Homo-oligomer: A and B are copies of this chain.
Amino acid sequence: MATATDAETDTSAETLSATVIGASGFTGGELLRLLAGHPNFELAQATSREYANKTLGSVHPNLRGSDLRFSEPSDLESVDVLFAATPHGVSMEHIDSFREAADTVVDLSADFRLDTEAEYDEWYDGHSCPEYLDEAVYALPELTREELPGADLIAAGGCNATATLLGLSPLFDAGILFGSEQVVVDVKVGSSEGGASPSKASSHVERSGIVRPYAPTGHRHEAEIEGILGTSVSFSAHAVDMVRGASATCHVFPDSPVSKGDLWKAYREAYEDESFVRLVAGGGGVYRYPEPKAVAGTNYAEVGFELDPTNKRIVVFSAIDNLMKGSAGQAVHAANLALGFEETAGLEFEGLHPVGSP
């Protein structure tokens, strides 16, 4: 079995057992799909309270070929790695049993993303095990790669935060922004961000064809963003008519003049060695800037930008699949890095063209 402290060894032929908690949800289903195609993981268990004893395919039609059935979350098997894809607040209640069941725990909820109890209390309602907040490693591999090898409690970054941070952080790293400037982040997201519980607002009738502001101020992902950038951003989200996808448009106003060359330099330095980030900035054809549709189903992020000399503004575009790069893909990517596997293992799908609504 891989030991977290020994990730340097060649692990390419190794196979670890894995459990997915909350496997009937959208990100849980994506984890099942990714692990089934991963050379180093074997899916041992998939839990779901609601669908216990039913086949995976009865919920996720793309998994009809699997014989596995959902099991009760109370019967955890001992495995190497546990992925928790439950709603916020669940992981913190069960974190001890998760860690008892597995050497490595990757949590996809917000429960362990913030660093301190004070931060958590500011944005959420009381943490039941704040002692783990500091220990947990925040995983957005392009930005926190160094901390991942050997980590045994990982908090995968949130979807909107991921899109935003991938767009903005090169500007901070390159010294184009310093943290004192106004930063507006206007995000457009698909319906899968709302989770699998039905409601009137999420019904096809009411949600089709919309541009609907939600959490226009005070969105909780601001906390994660501030945690990484060290500065607050003005964040607003809108629901639009797609199922997968998060697209962040960041409007920033640097204090000093910036050229397009400066921007290319900043983004190339940030991402030229990254497997999952593509710079897409104003070429020809239909897809000139980052679009969620171009990365649907994949772990890729597209990042691009444009310069607005009139208003001394930089507009940055960042697009991801919220269930993949913004959740399940990010979790597997982080696990790959934590356990010493090939970084891209299980995440090679390049996406489809054409594709309808992602």
Contacts and interface: CB of A to CB of B under 8 A. Distances in A.
Interface of A: 26, 29-30, 33, 36-37, 54, 58-65, 182, 184, 186, 188, 190-192, 194, 196, 198-213, 216-218, 222, 232-234, 236, 238, 240-245, 247, 249, 251, 253, 278, 280, 283-294, 296-298, 306-308, 310-311, 313, 315, 317, 319, 323, 348-358
A301 B278 CA distance: 33
Given A186-B249, A202-B203, A213 B357 contact: no
A190 to B, nearest CB: 7
Contact of A204 (B208, B278, B296, B310): B208
A268 to B, nearest CB: 15
Contacts of A203: 191, 196, 198, 202-204
Given A216-B315, A286-B206, A308-B234, A357 B357 contact: yes
Given A355-B243, A356-B208, A236 B216 contact: no
A194 B59 CA distance: 21
Contacts of A285: 54, 58-59
Given A184-B184, A196-B200, A202-B204, 19 more contacts: A37-B348, A61-B293, A63-B350, A64-B278, A182-B253, A184-B251, A184-B313, A191-B204, A204-B204, A204-B208, A209-B243, A209-B357, A212-B287, A213-B289, A213-B306, A217-B306, A234-B315, A251-B251, A349-B349
